[in-house]
Structure 1
Amino acid sequence: MHSSVFPWLSELTDEQAYEFLGEVIEAANAAGTHTAFLQTLDALAVEWRDAQRSPSSLAGSSP
């Protein structure tokens, strides 16, 4: 999956990308405000990006 906003998304398997996007949708539903959603989205993106850069991700584990 290619994303201009999240360039590292293309490094994920389709299953991982859909899991991340599912978390984004859940965050949008639970946030309550635009600001809360953007803060949650930022935290999710950092978490997933960092998980992809970690040595354990080379072994095929998902975040």
Structure 2
Amino acid sequence: MRQIYGKYYVEKETAGRFQILQETGRGYASIGCYFSPALAAEEIADREHGEKWIRDRIEEEMKGEAEV
């Protein structure tokens, strides 16, 4: 699991899927399972970080995890 920003994390799954998780006081809650960084970014975009910025962070983390 890799941090995207703030309380949001990405967890790579199988067949190109990944989960977005949000840190809570007791652990992590799944925001959803996605194939597309753009769709995931739509779900967690806020005023501070727009969809493009979040999508870029997800893509960077997915690429970085694949290289590890």
Higher alpha-carbon Rg: 1
Instruction: Answer 1 or 2: which has greater strand percent.
Output: 2
Interval containing the TM-score (normalised by the shorter chain): 0.3 to 0.5
Instruction: Answer 1 or 2: which has greater helix percent.
Output: 1
Structure-2-length-normalised TM-score:
0.43
Structure-1-length-normalised TM-score:
0.45
